Amino acid sequence: MPTKKLAKDDPYFIDFPKRIKSIQKEMAANGIDIYLGSRLRTLSWTLDAFCPWRSFIVIPPEGLPTVITFVIDAARVADESWLDQDHILGYGPMGGQDQVSLLSMLIKPYLKGGKGIIGMETGMGNYLPEGHLTLFEFVMLKAVMPKATFKNAHDIVDKLALIKDQGTINRFREASRIVDIGHKAVYDSIKKGGYKTMTETEIAGLAAYAMRKAGSEWEWSFTGGNEIASGYRTGLAAGACTPASRRKLKLGEPLMVDLHAMFRLGLGDHSHNYFLGKATKRQLWHAQNFVDLMHRCLKSYKAGISPTKLADDMLGFAEERGFQDYLVPGFEHGIGMMGDEWRIGLNDGPFDYWTNPEHEYKKDEMLICAVQYACPEENIGFRYENPILIMEKGCEAMSKFPLSVDVV
Amino acid sequence: MPEKKIKYLSKEWADEVTRRCKKELTPEKMKHITSSMLTINTNCPGSKTKAVYYTLKNGVVESVSIVEAPLPKAEFSITAEYDMFAKISKAEVKARSALMSGKMVLKGNLVKALTLSPTVDRLNEVIAKIPTEF
């Protein structure tokens, strides 16, 4: 159901017109005449609709924005967004209807004498569907608006999207509840030897089916949906990306199940780990390291802590216990509505477009607590992921599936 | 005896378009749409720009008129050279290919335009039957 039909007291209600007004206020403060958004995260945050095709939002200094998306999807986006169909236009390969013609038609009225500042979204990312303005798009737009100045302005949206409102938080909670249903379905299927005829792709599929039945819109991760790894694949060196393969599950091997669900652009992302049938003492030693580390990690997240402070503590603990060689030294990635993934906080760190390790978390920020334990020489590894909400004195881990490594 | 040809973009031509549309296009055929459309002919003989302004209400073609600058506002406008419109009218070029090649420019909501294109095709079929002198 589109958000435009949600009542203000609905737990998933988000005040999107207010978001637009807050962008417009920042545009005025930054001398930006018109904002051209192209990133997936910006589209989700402003539109309340999933835009899988290249799309743009043009935000004027006041009034409603207009979106252009591929014509085959414009009616669906309009159906789901709070904006009406007059503000969601389709583009296509026709005279006057291509991306550049439509964008210049929407932007030019706000450039006095052709001059003015256009806020754009450019940069660099390790997340492929980020959606920065491409060089070609920039060159074409500059050619039709030669007197305009283009200014990178994505910080406006990034700052505003950093602290999550109640509707967003509730959407993440619901997505996480759905992910837990997926985990239960996996557990029920693999327990008591049920895993014996299964492959990784089958695990991914049965989890997806359970989550879709519970209302998930898709297994949102660009890393192949539900990530499943078994055997040596759980312990790939420094590895934390395992799209499910056709590998058969085998007795005595580890199994990592990393599920993703989406609810109204809120994202569930939780991993659980198993041993299939039996486990050796050495395997259980690794598992205990991992579980203890995760308990410690989840106790550490709170307002005021930074990625570097947390990493120092976790790596110190790993060294004390003798498993530092197996720990990938990163403990989180950023998260927001669909398309906002990876970088924590703002683009203000020592390496452009990477997390600033000194970023201090604030109340109501969200992140994915993400830890990878990998021991390639023993073909064993575990992953933890869970959306967490930063609170004053702790954090809320949204997926409630019990933290353990189970022998099934 | 050959049928008398009517000069394209003349008042007589516009009146004939209106008359035939009202007679041949039922509101059902026109899907009860209410809209307005300009077909803007650039580089007309004499280097002028002339446009045909169509208004439809509840599926009835209310009026067809020839207008020059300042052009009235319309939900859709289609701009092309006079020669291109002439070729389309003589079925030498399809409107779709003119649009896809960029030789014709559409302004207005593309999603709505695509929805309305079968009804516009019906309108064009009526216009194409008018003996016209270009």
**Cβ–Cβ below 8 Å for B102 and A94:** yes
Higher pLDDT pick, A280 / B121: A280
Q: Which domain holds residue A15?
A: 3-161
Question: So what's the pLDDT on residue B1?
Answer: 62
pLDDT digits (tens, 9 = 90+) for A73-82: 999 999 999 9
Nearest C-alpha in A relative to B113: A90
Considering the domain architecture, whether residues A71 and A112 belong to the same structural domain is answered as: yes
Considering the domain architecture, whether residues A133 and A191 belong to the same structural domain is answered as: no
Question: So what's the pLDDT on residue A158?
Answer: 97
pLDDT digits (tens, 9 = 90+) for A83-119: 999 999 999 999 999 999 999 999 999 999 999 999 9
Output the furthest CA–CA distance in chain A (Å, rounded): 75
Considering the domain architecture, whether residues A200 and A238 belong to the same structural domain is answered as: yes
CATH of the domain at A223: 3.90.230.10
B35, pLDDT greater than 50: yes
Considering the domain architecture, whether residues A278 and A363 belong to the same structural domain is answered as: yes
Least confident of A258-272, A300-314, B79-93: B79-93
**B30-59: average pLDDT:** 95
Chain B partners of A97 at a C-beta cutoff of 8 Å?
99, 106, 110
Interface test with B, best of A87, A97, A105, A144 (most B CBs within 10 A): A97
Nearest C-alpha in A relative to B77: A96
Chain B partners of A96 at a C-beta cutoff of 8 Å?
79, 105-107
Considering the domain architecture, whether residues A95 and A60 belong to the same structural domain is answered as: yes
Which tokens in the block code for residue A197? 């005829």
A20, pLDDT greater than 90: yes
Nearest chain A Cα distance for residue B130, angstroms: 27
Chain A partners of B120 at a C-beta cutoff of 8 Å?
none
**Cβ–Cβ below 8 Å for B110 and A71:** yes
pLDDT digits (tens, 9 = 90+) for A349-390: 999 999 999 999 999 999 999 999 999 999 999 999 999 999
Which percentage of chain A shows pLDDT scores above 70?
Answer: 99
B88, pLDDT greater than 90: no
Higher pLDDT pick, A172 / B88: A172
Question: So what's the pLDDT on residue A224?
Answer: 94
Domain final residue pick, A141, A161, A181: A161
Asked if the C-beta of B112 comes within 8 angstroms of chain A's C-beta atoms, the answer is: yes
Please spell the DSSP secondary structure of A155-175, one letter per residue: HHHHHHHHBPPHHHHHHHHHH
8 Å CB contact between A397 and A271: no
In A347-406, the residues whose Cβ lies within 8 Å of chain B are none
**Cβ–Cβ below 8 Å for A95 and B111:** no
Which tokens in the block code for residue A294? 């995760």
Considering the domain architecture, whether residues A175 and A75 belong to the same structural domain is answered as: no
Taking the CA atoms of A296, A301, A304 and A310 in sequence, report the sign of the dihedral they define: positive
pLDDT band at A1 (very low <50, low <70, confident <90, very high): very low
Question: So what's the pLDDT on residue A30?
Answer: 98
Considering the domain architecture, whether residues A265 and A351 belong to the same structural domain is answered as: yes
Chain A partners of B117 at a C-beta cutoff of 8 Å?
none
Question: Residue A253's CB: how many other CB atoms inside 10 A?
Answer: 24
8 Å CB contact between A5 and A16: no
According to DSSP, the residues that pair with A368 across neighbouring strands are A333, A387
> How many interface pairs between A and B have CB atoms less than 8 angstroms apart?
45
Report how far apart, in Å, the C-alpha atoms of A356 and of each of A308, A342, A390 are. 9, 12, 17
Considering the domain architecture, whether residues A230 and A377 belong to the same structural domain is answered as: yes
Please spell the DSSP secondary structure of B54-70, one letter per residue: EEEETTEEEEEEEE-SS
In B87-106, the residues whose Cβ lies within 8 Å of chain A are 98-106
pLDDT band at B89 (very low <50, low <70, confident <90, very high): confident
CATH architecture of residue range(s) B6-128: 2-Layer Sandwich (3.30)
Question: So what's the pLDDT on residue A376?
Answer: 96
**Angle between helix A40-47 and helix A16-29 axes, rounded to 10 deg:** 120
**Cβ–Cβ below 8 Å for A94 and B114:** no
B79, pLDDT greater than 80: yes
Considering the domain architecture, whether residues A191 and A86 belong to the same structural domain is answered as: no
Question: So what's the pLDDT on residue B95?
Answer: 84
pLDDT digits (tens, 9 = 90+) for A130-169: 999 999 999 999 999 999 999 999 999 999 999 999 999 9
**B67-78: average pLDDT:** 96
Considering the domain architecture, whether residues A108 and A195 belong to the same structural domain is answered as: no
Considering the domain architecture, whether residues A398 and A266 belong to the same structural domain is answered as: yes
In B26-85, the residues whose Cβ lies within 8 Å of chain A are 79-80
Question: So what's the pLDDT on residue A3?
Answer: 54
CATH of the domain at A100: 3.40.350.10
A2, pLDDT greater than 70: no
**Cβ–Cβ below 8 Å for B110 and A95:** no
Contacts of A80 (CB under 8 A, 6+ apart): A2, A48, A49, A50
Mean pLDDT of chain A: 96
Going from N- to C-terminal start, the domains of chain B cover 6-128
**A261-276: average pLDDT:** 98
**Cβ–Cβ below 8 Å for A74 and B98:** no
**Cβ–Cβ below 8 Å for B98 and A93:** no
Q: Rounded to 5 degrees, what are φ and ψ at A4?
A: -60, -15
In the numeric block, the tokens 């967003």 are attached to A168
DSSP type of residue A68 = E
Asked if the C-beta of A71 comes within 8 angstroms of chain B's C-beta atoms, the answer is: yes
Chain B partners of A90 at a C-beta cutoff of 8 Å?
109-111, 114
pLDDT digits (tens, 9 = 90+) for A304-322: 999 999 999 999 999 999 9
Domain count, chain A: 2
Domain final residue pick, A130, A161, A192: A161
Interface test with A, best of B110, B112, B115, B117 (most A CBs within 10 A): B110
Chain B partners of A86 at a C-beta cutoff of 8 Å?
109
Question: So what's the pLDDT on residue B96?
Answer: 83
Considering the domain architecture, whether residues A15 and A50 belong to the same structural domain is answered as: yes
**Angle between helix A135-144 and helix A99-107 axes, rounded to 10 deg:** 50
